[in-house]
Structure formats: C-alpha cells, structure tokens
Structure 1
Amino acid sequence: MMHELINIWMGWVTDWGYAGVILLMAMESSIFPVPSELVMPPAAIIAAGPNAPMSFWGVVIAGTVGSYVGSAITYLVARYAGIPFINRWGKYFFMPPAKVAKATVFMERYAVGGVFFARLLPVIRHLISIPAGIVRMNFWIFSLVTTLGAFIWCTVLTWYGHRIGSEHPDILKDPDKLKEAVKAESLGLVICVVVLAALYVLMIKMTSRKKKEQDIQH
C-alpha cells in the first residue's frame, strides 16, 4: 500500500508541478505522514530536466509555502480546539496523547528554538505545530521560525534531489531507491541539526541554572 501511495504522490508532483509540491508539503507539515523526501527531491529532478516546467528556486519556494500552510493550519486547530480535541482524535493520525504531552513539555521548555530545530528534523516536523498551538506561542513568531526552518529544509532537499538526479537520471522510476538515496545523503545534515539542537538545549539549561543561582543569592 505504501508503495502505491508513493507512486501517487510522485505522480502529483509530475502532473501538477508547483501545485502538487505545495499540496503535498502542506500535508507533510500537518497530520498526514507524507515524507518530504519523496516530494522535494523528485520535484528537483524534474526541474533539472530539459524544458522543465519548474525551476530550482521555484520548487524551494513552493515547498516552503506548502510547509507553512500545513503548519499554520495545524497550529490554529491545536490552539482553538485545544487538548480535548487532540486527545480525542490524535490517535487516528499517529499522535496519541502521550506523544503530544511530551512534545508540549518540550515546547514549553525550548519555545522558539524548539520549533526552529524541529522543522529541520524528520518525523517530528509535522508534530511540533500542535504543542506550539496548545501553549499559544505567538503566531507571528511561530510563522517566522516555521518559514525559516521550512525554507532551509526545502532548499537542502531540493539540492540533494538535483544532485541525485544528475548522478542517477532514471531514479524516478524507482521511488524506494530514491527514498533510500535521499536518506543516505541527508544523514549528515540530520546529525548536524541534532548536535546544534543539543547545544541549544544545553545553553538553555545552563542559563536557567545560572538564573536560579542569581535569584537565590538575591
């Protein structure tokens, strides 16, 4: 079934161009588990072809717009529907209450930086908008860091797609091979993001500890 879905999603990118990229990335950034690795790289490969209907930066912008739209909708639903709605329906979209609760604690601790780094990490990218809405993070700040993170992620995936397509011109015929190739290429990026996120968390903890010590002294 997953293989069939992958072929359908890649068909949307091929047939609909930018509109397909926007729709799929909006789904990827909301409650639908569409892998961005199977949206942006294929679009980049198509954009690199002769007489291509899309361009490199056009694909990046379309991906960024789609990511923001999906994230903003999810944020607004979480903000105004609240925890009861998530607890009732979240399990049907791979977001059980326990998982959302952990993400909410993370959001309360690391706020803006947490949203930014989450946008650069697979799996949790689509989840972070929910706790951001639940804790009522400022919408415009949320929008800014979400757009920035999405732009960086979309640019990297588009670059990887362009590179992989130039080395393997027929890779679009094998979605599974494409997915594995992108995962292998993007592993270094994910490791760098994890390291930077860990340093950010350490900085927050050290700052918080120092502030507590100063409060005790005064």
Structure 2
Amino acid sequence: MIGNSPEQWVNSLMGALGAPGAGIAIALENLFPPLPSEVILPLAGFAASTGRISLTAAVLWTTAGSVVGALALYGLGAWLGRERTIALASKVPLVKTRDIERTEAWFNRHGAKAVFFGRMIPLFRSLISVPAGVERMPLPLFLGLTTLGSAIWNTAFIMAGYALGSNWKEVSGYVSTYSKLVLGIALLALLALVVRRVVRSRKEKRRD
C-alpha cells in the first residue's frame, strides 16, 4: 500500500474503512503535507456520489481528521514552547531574536484570523498549528477556529468532487495551480527577507 499513488492509497483506505478512512487520510495530510488534500477530499466526494460512503459522513470524518492532525501539531508547538523555539530559531542563519519577538507580537494580535483562514491555504494549513501551540492559544478557541475553517475547506472540495463525479481530478488541477501560486508568493517573501537581512548585515559590518 505504501508504494501506491496517493489516489490508490486513499481509495484502499476508504474501501477498507469507509468515511473514517478519509478522515484518517486527512489527519495524516496535516502531519505529512505531501499527502495532498486536493486528492483526498474530491476523491471522498466522488466516493459519496457513487454511494460508497455517505456525503455527510465524508464531511464529518474529514473535518474530524483535520482537527486531530492540527491538534497533534498544536501539541508539538506547546511542547517546544517559547524558549526551545527561540533556541532553535537562533541557529537559523539571518534569524534574530527580535524577529521572533515580532512574530509573537503579530500572532498575539492576529492569531485567531491566522488559524481560521490558514485552514484554507495549502501548506500553511498544517504549519499554523505549531505557532498556535507555542503561543498557547486557548485550546477551546483553537479547536473552534480549526473545526470551522476545516469544515469550510473540506466541504467545498468534497462537494466539488461529488458534483464532478468521475471527473473529480479536475479539482486537483485547480488546487495545484492555487498551491503553486501561494508557494511562489511565500518563496518571494522569504527571498525578500533574506536579501534584506544580508544587506543590513553588511551595513552593520561596515559601521563596525
């Protein structure tokens, strides 16, 4: 099963377990982003359109899987805590303590929005749970925002797969384009940050 494609693997999981199999796949997708939700969710919708699983069960189980996966990463962030996070980040070239402090301040102001809307952004869907744990966002708030945001994302793609039926793979194409766009913007932002840090570091050396 491990050697199969994601589509075959998810199909096997749903074939063996039904809608809970889709939930397990989504929980793993949170922990291992290379397992794409753009395959799992439309495929679950297609399975519901054929009567293999219930549409309602598909939404409920995948949302439960999203929450479980997010909770595991929240726990990782809480375990790391502020001190460990700072210690690890300080070993990354060009990252300074004040950068972490600014990130903390930003998360304290916008954390609720970040957790909610982050559930609808590829890659960040998983990563946003870690800073939420580091900052010890109140667990009921984290769970509520995660459940709501995940339910919206999951329902949209499950319904798309349900409506498209055997053409469910078309959804993956659109989401793949969206994912590449988001990743491209993130890489540009990272590149801009690195360039800024290098320029500032050189200026400081010249002053010294």
The two structures have a TM-score, normalised by structure 2, of 0.68
Q: In the alignment, which residue of structure 1 is the partner of 2:52? A: 53
Q: In the alignment, which residue of structure 1 is the partner of 2:148? A: 148
**Does 1:113 pair with 2:121?**
no
Identical pairs, percent: 28
Q: Secondary structure at the match of 2:52?
A: coil
Give the distance between the partners of 1:47 and 1:3, measured in 2 at CA: 22
Q: Secondary structure at the match of 1:15?
A: helix
Q: What count of residue pairs does the alignment treat as equivalent?
A: 170
CA contact (8 A) 2:63 2:150 kept: yes
Amino acid corresponding to residue 26 of structure 2 in structure 1: M
Deviation at 1:109, TM superposition (A): 3.7
**Does 1:138 pair with 2:105?**
no
* Residue deviations 1:103-136 (CA, integer Å, cap 9, x gap): 7665334111111000111121011000100111
Backbone CA RMSD of aligned residues: 3.4
Deviation at 1:40, TM superposition (A): 1.1
Deviation at 1:33, TM superposition (A): 2.9
Q: In the alignment, which residue of structure 2 is the partner of 1:214? A: none
The 5-angstrom pairing of residues 122-133 of structure 1 reads 122-133=122-133
Q: In the alignment, which residue of structure 1 is the partner of 2:157? A: 157
Q: In the alignment, which residue of structure 1 is the partner of 2:194? A: none
Structure number with greater CO (CA < 8 Å, separation at least 6) is 2
- CA change 1:44–1:10 in 2 (3 A) is same
* Residue deviations 1:53-75 (CA, integer Å, cap 9, x gap): 31111111011000001101110
**Does 1:179 pair with 2:178?**
no
Q: In the alignment, which residue of structure 1 is the partner of 2:199? A: none
Q: Secondary structure at the match of 1:39?
A: helix
Q: In the alignment, which residue of structure 1 is the partner of 2:80? A: 81
Q: In the alignment, which residue of structure 2 is the partner of 1:35? A: 36
**Does 1:13 pair with 2:14?**
yes
Q: Secondary structure at the match of 1:33?
A: coil
Larger gyration radius, structure 1 or structure 2:
2
Give the distance between the partners of 1:147 and 1:67, measured in 2 at CA: 8
CA contact (8 A) 2:19 2:54 kept: no
Give the distance between the partners of 2:87 and 2:39, measured in 1 at CA: 30
Give the distance between the partners of 1:143 and 1:163, measured in 2 at CA: 29
CA contact (8 A) 1:14 1:43 kept: no
The two structures have a TM-score, normalised by structure 1, of 0.65
CA contact (8 A) 1:104 1:132 kept: no
Structure 1: tracts of 5 or more residues without a match: 89-97, 192-218
Deviation at 1:178, TM superposition (A): 5.8
Amino acid corresponding to residue 152 of structure 1 in structure 2: I
